[in-house]
Amino acid sequence: MIAVVSGLAPTDVTRMLAAHGVRPSRALGQNFLSDANTARRIARLAGVGPGDRVVEIGPGLGALTVALVASGAEITTVELDRHLLAVLAETVEPLGVRVVHGDALRVRWADLLGGRGPEVVVGNLPYNVAVPIILRVLDEAPSVARLLVMMQREVADRLVASPGTKSYGSVTVHVRYWAEATMVGRVPPSVFVPRPKVESALVSVVRRAAPAVDPATVALTRLMAVVRAGFAQRRKMLRSALAGVVDEQAYQATGVSSAARAETLDVAEWGKLAAWTMRTSP
């Protein structure tokens, strides 16, 4: 057994994988953290401590988990890869961590978390499902008050983008409906085994007290249908990108210019347009 209490070095990661006959899976986005300083930095940025309830998504071999344990918080992890369960039984379960074998895209958050809230989600997320995992937590786990998550830099750019920029899109609007997202750090490929090709970034997502658009005026599903329709033709003016979705009157009534492009509208403006569609087809 390798002691991970002080963190995992690249050689430890390689040895642990070999000892358990595990080969990093690309499909599961397995780039394991092999730098204790980075693990401690993430735990510090998560700002958790005794009394906090943390859910770590994708603990892998437990590199970040041990840093979170050191904070004194109560930790539950959700790991999809059953081959890693034996590793986690050695590395983090003896430290009091609850390890759940499950899929973060399917798990029933209310059952898992037991309605005790509030919780903090932390994770070095699998790169190909980072966005759906974050959106699902925001949509379906209201007791999660904030997230501190690592992902590919390019994906992080989309979460935190400002209107009028290339990275701003429907995902940005969806996140902003629920939360404020900020990029709080960058992480080089050199701290992972195997090394990813691109830089990673850390994003802090803090849930708002109430959604940015009042759900009494328009539901999230309708809002996002309008937003996605707009961004599907992001180079076109709204009057043609949203033809058949938003009528001409809506622009006058809401004060949103029909000559604007999707990428210039903030979440409140999307909310106004989407709420207008409720009048014409509730």
Supply angle C-alpha 99, 105, 109, rounded to 5: 60
Sheet holding 119-124, edge to edge: 98-101, 74-79, 53-57, 119-124, 144-152, 200-207, 179-187
CA 11 vs. chain centroid, Å, equals 29
Q: Sketch the per residue contact string, 123 through 162, with ligand SAM: x for CB under 6 A, - otherwise.
A: -x-x--x---------------------------------
**Which of 16, 64, 213, 265 is in the footprint of ligand SAM by CB under 6 A?**
64
Q: Which of residues 69-128 bind ligand SAM (CB under 6 A)?
A: 78-81, 84, 103-105, 124, 126
Give dist(CA 1, CA 3) in Å, integer: 6
Give dist(CA 231, CA 170) in Å, integer: 7
CB under 6 A: which stretch of 28-36, 43-51, 85-93, 160-168 binds ligand SAM?
28-36
Minimum distance between the CB of residue 158 and ligand SAM, rounded to whole angstroms? 18
| Bridge partner list, 192 | 33
**Which of 16, 22, 31, 275 is in the footprint of ligand SAM by CB under 6 A?**
31
Minimum distance between the CB of residue 259 and ligand SAM, rounded to whole angstroms? 42
Minimum distance between the CB of residue 139 and ligand SAM, rounded to whole angstroms? 16
Residue 16's alpha-carbon distances to 10, 33, 75, 254, in angstroms, are 10, 13, 22, 59
CB under 6 A: which stretch of 15-23, 26-34, 135-143, 172-180 binds ligand SAM?
26-34
**Which one-letter amino acid corresponds to residue 193?**
V
Tell me if 29 contacts ligand SAM by CB under 6 A.
Answer: yes
> 25 or 249: whose CB is closer to ligand SAM?
25
CA 36 vs. chain centroid, Å, equals 22
Look at phi and psi of residue 63 and say left if phi exceeds 0, alpha if psi is from -120 to 50, else beta.
alpha
Total of chain residues touching ligand SAM, rule CB under 6 A: 24
CB under 6 A: which stretch of 44-52, 53-61, 242-250, 265-273 binds ligand SAM?
53-61
Q: Which of residues 201-220 bind ligand SAM (CB under 6 A)?
A: none
Count CB-CB contacts under 10 A for residue 281.
8
Note the residues at the interface with ligand SAM (CB under 6 A).
Answer: 28-33, 57-61, 63-64, 78-81, 84, 103-105, 124, 126, 129
